[in-house]
Amino acid sequence: MKTGDLSADPIVGLSRNSYMSPAQFQHELLAIHHVSWLYGCHASEVGLPGEFVTRQVGRDDSIIIVRGEDGQVRAFANLCRHRGSRLCHEDHGHVRRLVCPYHQWRYATDGNLLSANRMRDGIDLNFADHGLVAIAAETWGGHVFICLSDPQAPLAPLLSAAAVGLSDYSPEATKVAARRCYPIAANWKLVMENFWECYHCAARHPEFSAIADVGGLEDTDFGTVTEPGAALSPVIGGALPLKPGFTSLTLDGRPACRRRFGRFQNEIAVSDPVQTTGFILRHSTAVTYFPDHGIVLDFQPRGVDQTLLVARWLVPADAVEGQDYVTENLVALWDITNIQDGVLAEGNAAGVRSSFYKPGPISRAHEPGIHEFHRFCAAALARTPALASSGSALSS
């Protein structure tokens, strides 16, 4: 069903409390982020055995994603099994062993405890019982995804169905050309609401709107509204159509990288119908590809009023900085857009904090994604009871 076919029920925004309550935030972390597949990292960031990245979830959880000697990418809770010290404080690195900085317990990159500094296996403790806490990890299309609880469903089939034509882009043969972080002083739901509508685009994103087909966006999965009561898929398509005449989502609408992904080795035809594809993980990550580069936007709730947006720009694995692309050109449009969006979300947060705030109407025509987002959150919260002390509810 498309925009405009919603039921006649009025749609209004969320309460002030739902954006400001620490208990509500904790409930959302458990009910949504701890049970959903999340973006871990790009597979090329852990390309070699021993390469790792750490990825924070919420305020308190940190996950290590590391490639083992056997080539497999695994994820572990970033804490030692002795007395719980954080293992890795760096956001990325390369190790032969994971060594706890406190009392030097040593773990293999497959999570097994190897030694425990003067404590003996089978006498003081059983090493086999004290390996790192494993977290579900799945690698697909050159990306590593993690899930902090038992995954409700494998991710690959959902991604394959959503990212139509992605194999044309040879996504495994890509690398991260740039990674930038954007701290936003706003509740994560305000950040996602801003992501889910382009009602603000024409006025507030002149650079983006000059190249992207903002009107056409509503005809993609991005603007699709499901039947009331229907289950919402955790993954949808993430194509980002361009205005006629443009071949990439850059400041001038032209490729920022001379190398091309997959089958786009030759000059890109303006009439080519498959110029963009991607997927969106509800409600944390958007991945979009153009023939010369890709963009990953990973929205991470960090506190009730703090969100971190981590953006990665992808290029073909054999592209060379300075020769095939200039990083500042590559990142320019999304860097501007991310900063603009951060300002909008923080301005929204400032207004919502006011004691005069009241939820307002959400447009069926121009903000259907917000409605879907709220519905997804409300269903997730209803499935997962709040902690006894939180008493939270996603109320309108």
Q: Binding of ligand FES at residue 103 (CB under 6 A)?
A: yes
State the greatest distance between any 2 C-alpha atoms of the chain, in Å, as a whole number.
71
Residues in Cβ contact with 100 at an 8 Å cutoff, skipping those fewer than 6 apart: 80, 82, 85, 87, 106, 107
Q: Binding of ligand FES at residue 83 (CB under 6 A)?
A: yes
From the list 3-11, 76-84, 212-220, 340-348, the region that binds Fe ion by CB under 5 A is 340-348
> Residue 83 CB, nearest distance to Fe ion (Å)?
44
Helix (H) or strand (E) holding 179: strand 174-184
> Residue 99 CB, nearest distance to ligand FES (Å)?
9
Q: Binding of ligand FES at residue 327 (CB under 6 A)?
A: no
Q: Is 120 helix (H, G, I), strand (E, B) or coil?
A: coil
Q: Binding of Fe ion at residue 193 (CB under 5 A)?
A: no
Q: For residues 330 and 315, what is the distance between their CA atoms, to the nearest angstrom?
A: 9
Q: What does 82 interact with, of ligand FES, Fe ion, none (CB < 5 to 8 A by kind)?
A: ligand FES
> Residue 101 CB, nearest distance to ligand FES (Å)?
8
Residue in the block written with tokens 């590809």: 289
DSSP of 101-164: TTT--EE-TTS-EEEBTTB-BTTTB-GGG-SPPEEEEEEETTEEEEESS--SS-SHHHHHHHST
Sign of CA dihedral 34, 38, 43, 46: negative
Query: Kindly report the CA angle at 198 between 194 and 203, in degrees rounded to 5?
Result: 100
Closer residue to ligand FES in complex, CB, 82/243: 82
> Residue 134 CB, nearest distance to ligand FES (Å)?
17
CA nearest to 143, candidates 281, 347, 272: 281
Q: What does 85 interact with, of ligand FES, Fe ion, none (CB < 5 to 8 A by kind)?
A: ligand FES
From the list 77-85, 141-149, 154-162, 247-255, the region that binds ligand FES by CB under 6 A is 77-85
Number of residues that bind ligand FES (CB under 6 A): 8
Question: Residue from 76, 105, 313, 334 that binds ligand FES (CB under 6 A)?
Answer: 105
Closer residue to ligand FES in complex, CB, 108/393: 108
Q: Binding of Fe ion at residue 341 (CB under 5 A)?
A: yes
Beta bridge mates, 51: 94
From the list 179-187, 226-234, 283-291, 334-342, the region that binds Fe ion by CB under 5 A is 334-342
Q: What does 130 interact with, of ligand FES, Fe ion, none (CB < 5 to 8 A by kind)?
A: none
Q: Binding of ligand FES at residue 82 (CB under 6 A)?
A: yes
Q: What does 105 interact with, of Fe ion, ligand FES, none (CB < 5 to 8 A by kind)?
A: ligand FES
Name the strands in the sheet holding 294-303, side by side, starting at the edge strand that comes first in the sequence.
Answer: 174-184, 306-316, 294-303, 285-289, 277-281, 235-237
Q: Binding of Fe ion at residue 367 (CB under 5 A)?
A: no
Closer residue to Fe ion in complex, CB, 91/213: 213
CA distance between the termini of the chain: 24
Closer residue to Fe ion in complex, CB, 324/341: 341
Inter-CA distances, 149 with 109, 282, 324, Å: 21, 16, 41
> Residue 202 CB, nearest distance to Fe ion (Å)?
11
> Residue 79 CB, nearest distance to ligand FES (Å)?
8
Q: Binding of ligand FES at residue 64 (CB under 6 A)?
A: no
231: left (phi over 0), alpha (psi -120 to 50) or beta: beta
Inter-CA distances, 150 with 130, 141, 370, Å: 20, 21, 27
- By the criterion CB under 6 A, which residues form the site for ligand FES? 80, 82-83, 85, 100, 102-103, 105
- By the criterion CB under 5 A, which residues form the site for Fe ion? 341
